Structure 1
């Protein structure tokens, strides 16, 4: 077996993303719970984030909360922010689509910045994430997420211009949406931002968790995560006995610079608020992702592509390939930051999105790109 095939085989089973890091620390939780016994399992329930106990780690008082039924009946949690005096003619509505094992909390800085700038904002929790309902695991697919985005748009913003902003799996959701609904995209989407994401076409990045762990996951597969997810005390056990390990994995895979413990805890709460069976269902889908055929649906749309130079989950090469397929897009690499760049360096990300919002169709994209890059360089200095 050649090295490329071997790497892809391991990648498909071990998959990719922050969720696998979560699975890894879940494995540590198993060992820890075994050592500490029943007491640790009892304590773990105080830290587990499940069912109706789920909360958004960065509370934000929305103007409206909307329950959005997806096409299969799963109810998605959506929030709407409207600036004082906002009217439909004031500008496009910005729809924020979060990434894998996160929730709408990950957009807290952008929500504030966009509302302060006078824009209406819609954010929502993807299915099986955050406060949204969990549906059939067979529907944990990027294609279904594209349909869910359509449902959110129909329920919250049936008319008017839209700008879609997606991070990681959220960017994949937008690409899926554009491929499935090309006419709506052409007629109403006046801009789209793809942040720390990939169109796939090859096995996504491996996490380097070590050959022993990789082989365990490769052998047991997503079903292992499904079974582990049924053991609430074990899954939550790490929160009671291994916070240092948990922080280490979040720091390593989410950020490029040293982050305060409060931020690491907040991100860990989002990660551990995602059921392991859902993680196991999404991982093969993400690893085998290929939405490149959807990209022509975005060719006529003003685009922004943003990557973090130290992103180990979706390295800048993935964004470079997107930029090659969408040559009119602004492509910005923010130096020194990792996968959760919207939390690590919110200023440059928010400013880049605002620059996209201010760019009407037909304006010379190259000039706008240079202006946006210059602004990022200035903030990074």
Structure 2
């Protein structure tokens, strides 16, 4: 494991963690949820290392304004910036070879912006995993509540958290994360919810910068990358969502799956928005499917088998 720092186009330092050998034939890039950081994927990283060891390069990174990366001005907290940052992470840490990319929530939205921000990366992508995410129309989400009340609460919650971050000290919020805990349990998790996972997410909310909360929220409300989905046609793609996901409901996942030719849609009963925590095995297993398929395509055919297939095609 090695830590790296990537400098964005606007001068921010992005923290990146790379696991695996330098000449690994395949790279798995994991992009995390809004207000989280790279540990959003800690279960899947553990599972990938247990299955593949150092033979697959695994890259996690803290988005701008998250984790150990630099805080960003509210105006710079946008999905296009995340897509360009992702491209720089790839340029620096995996400049060659095929990529399996996975995104949770805003991480998945970042992937949908790749075709317009870094189209040169699309030919390298050999697998995509969209987890609890959307390609647009978040402004219609009502958090499972009646329309008027849901829209009002949806628009206010990020700014309530941002104001708590501005007005209260970190130590006080760590000691009394009352609102953060209520939000996590009510809106982010389905059933069952393990206490350690809820506590992990609450800690991430407590440590999220106020401009990260408000800036990305504003940009996500206008996020519309439905037209970009066709760029992933015929790339092995899986879309995962929980039936109790109130932030990016199942119909959003279905729209992604319909927009990408050949994509698979899997719906997890009773799961909420934090599928990488709530359904560890499901998310890891679907990553395995994409990685195994990509690795199988990289294995050179024995010469005699290639000749036999060539003769068969000729006879046909």
User: Does the TM-score normalized on the shorter chain lie above 0.5?
Assistant: yes
- From the superposition, tell whether residues 155 and 252 of structure 1 become closer, same or farther in structure 2 (CA, over 3 Å): same
Give per-residue Cα distances to partners, 1:121-158, cap 9 Å, x unaligned: 00000000111101222111111110010011111111
Equivalent residue, structure 2, for 1:240: 175
Q: 1:288 to 1:247 in 2, by over 3 A?
A: same
Match of 1:292 in 2: 226
List gaps (5 residues or longer) in structure 2: 298-316
Larger RCO: Structure 1 or Structure 2 (Cα < 8 Å, ≥ 6 residues apart)? 1
* 1:225/1:277 contact within 8 Å kept: no
| Shift, 1:222, TM fit | 7.6
Distance in 2 of aligned mates of 1:257 and 1:305: 20
CA–CA distance in structure 1, aligned partners of residues 6 and 168 of structure 2: 28
Question: Are the aligned partners of 1:172 and 1:198 in contact in 2 as well (CA < 8 Å)?
Answer: yes
- The residue that corresponds to 2:119 in the other structure is 182
Q: How far apart are 1:209 and its partner, in Å? A: 7.6
1:280 and 2:214 matched: yes
1:184-230 CA-partner distances (Å, limit 9, x unpaired): 211x1111111111000452422368978965986x89877665543
Residue in 1 aligned with 2:10?
72
| Contact 1:247 1:261 survives alignment (8 Å) | no
Structure 1 distance, partners of 2:135, 2:41, is 21
Unaligned runs of 5+ in 1: 1-62, 364-381
Native 8 Å contact 1:65 1:77 kept in 2: yes
Task: Give, in angstroms, the shift of residue 179 of structure 1.
Answer: 2.7
Structure 2 counterpart SS, 1:203 = helix
Instruction: Check the 8 A contact 1:256/1:336 in 2, yes or no.
Output: yes
Distance 1:116 1:265 in 2: 25
Distance 1:111 1:81 in 2: 9
Instruction: Give distance in 2, aligned partners of 1:116 and 1:102.
Output: 24
**Secondary structure class of the residue paired with 1:194:** strand
Q: Aligned-pair distance for 1:105? A: 0.7
Report the equivalent of 1:196: 132
Distance 1:125 1:351, change over 3 A: same
Does 1:132 pair with 2:69? yes
Partner of 2:25 in structure 1? 91
Pair 1:161 & 2:95 matched:
no
**1:172 alignment partner in structure 2:** 109
Q: Deviations over 1:248-286 (max 9, x none)?
A: 321222211132332221110111111122211111111
Structure 1 residues 202 and 301: alpha-carbon distance in aligned structure 2, compared to 1, 3 A threshold: same
In structure 1, the residue corresponding to 2:139 is in which secondary structure?
coil
Seen in structure 2, the aligned counterparts of structure 1 residues 329 and 74 have a Cα distance that, compared at 3 Å, is same
* Equivalent residues of 1:251, 1:258 under 8 A apart: no
Q: Is the 8 A contact 2:3 2:17 kept in 1?
A: yes
> Using the alignment, how far apart are the partners of 2:269 and 2:37 within structure 1?
25
Pair 115,361 (structure 1): closer, same or farther in 2 beyond 3 Å:
closer
Over 3 Å counting, the alpha-carbon distance change for 1:280 and 1:160 in structure 2 is: same
**1:138–1:334 CA distance, 2 compared to 1 (3 A):** same
Residues 172, 199 of structure 1: 8 Å contact kept: yes
Paired with 2:248 and 2:86, the residues of 1 have a C-alpha distance of 22
Offset at 1:231? 1.8
Taking the TM superposition and a 5 Å limit, the aligned residue runs for 1:26-45 are: none
Cα distance 1:204–1:157, how it changes in 2: closer, same or farther (>3 A)? Answer: farther
TM-score (norm 2): 0.84
Q: Is the CA contact 1:217–1:224 (under 8 Å) kept in the aligned structure 2?
A: no
Q: CA RMSD in A?
A: 2.7
**Residues 308, 338 of structure 1: 8 Å contact kept:** yes
Is 2:234–2:261's contact at 8 Å kept on the other side of the alignment? no
CA distance in 1, matches of 2:149, 2:263: 41
